[in-house]
Amino acid sequence: MASSDRRFGTDEADWSEKKEIPKAIIASVEREIASSLRVKEAFLRECAAPWAGICEAVAGRLAHGGKVLLFGNGGSAGDAEHIAAEFLSGRMGAR
């Protein structure tokens, strides 16, 4: 931001002049990221093959004129809408 950055209460130009980030904060961020990575690695180990099978089944249905129904309630509705938009936009390549 060229003007005042409200999150830090400072101008962007001043950010590089700030004191070092406390090691406890860095350690906390590292722990959170490591935890997130463990979850993703477990998902990959346990769910990659079933997920690939689901994707293959959906692609097969669509290739033969079928359709995919997506739905949800609350945040899940937003996820369903996003997935539907991905199918329609072509951003992920040919469908």
Distance CA 3, CA 29 (A): 27
In sequence order, the β-bridge partners of residue 5 are 10
Q: Are strands 4-5 and 10-11 parallel, antiparallel or unpaired?
A: antiparallel
Query: How far is it, in rounded angstroms, from Cα 71 to Cα 90?
Result: 20
How many degrees, rounded to 5, is the angle at CA 76 between CA 29 and CA 94? 90
Indicate whether this model's pTM tops 0.85.
Answer: no
Q: How confident is the model at residue 30 (pLDDT cuts 50, 70, 90)?
A: very high
Q: What is the three-class DSSP state of 4?
A: strand
pLDDT in tens, 49-67: 999 999 999 999 999 999 9
